[in-house]
Amino acid sequence: MTVEDISWEIKTDYTRHLAKKKMREDKRKPFEYRKIELENGYIPNALGSTRVRLGKTEVIAGVSLVMGTPYPDKLNAGTLMTSVELTPIASPMFESGPPRPNAVEYARVVDRGIRESGTLDFEKLCVTEGEEVWMVILDLHVLDYNGNLFDAFALAAISALLNTKMPKYEDGKVIREETKGKLSVQKKPVECTFFKIGDMLMLDPSLGEDKALDARLTVATVGDRICAMQKGGNGSFTMKEIDELVDMSFKKSKELTKLL
Among 13, 37, 199, 243, binds another protein (CB under 8 A): 243
Kindly write out the interface string for residues 141-170 of this chain, putting x where it contacts another protein by CB under 8 A and - elsewhere.
x-xxxx------------------------
Neighbours of 111 (CB within 10 A): 20
Q: Tell me if 231 contacts another protein by CB under 8 A.
A: yes
Among 29, 124, 176, 254, binds another protein (CB under 8 A): 176
Determine the size of the site formed for another protein (CB under 8 A).
70
Of the candidates 228, 72, 15, the residue with the CA atom closest to the CA atom of residue 249: 228
Q: Minimum distance from CB of 254 to another protein (Å)? A: 15
Q: Residue 205, exposed/middle/buried by CB under 10 A (0-12, 13-18, 19+)?
A: buried
Helix (H) or strand (E) holding 205: none
Among 237, 252, 253, 256, binds another protein (CB under 8 A): 237
Query: Residue 21 or residue 96: which is nearer to another protein going by CB?
Result: 96
Q: Tell me if 201 contacts another protein by CB under 8 A.
A: no
First to last CA, the chain: 44
Of the candidates 199, 196, 238, 200, the residue with the CA atom closest to the CA atom of residue 218: 196
Q: Tell me if 224 contacts another protein by CB under 8 A.
A: yes
Neighbours of 225 (CB within 10 A): 13
84 forms beta bridges with: 140
Cβ partners under 8 Å of residue 29, min gap 6: none
Helix (H) or strand (E) holding 24: none
76-115: contacts with another protein (CB under 8 A): 83, 85, 87-92, 96, 98, 101-102, 104-105, 107-108, 112, 115
State the residues that interact with another protein by CB under 8 A: 1-4, 42-46, 49, 56, 58, 60, 62-64, 66, 73-74, 83, 85, 87-92, 96, 98, 101-102, 104-105, 107-108, 112, 115-118, 137, 139, 141, 143-146, 176, 217, 224-239, 242-243, 246-247, 250
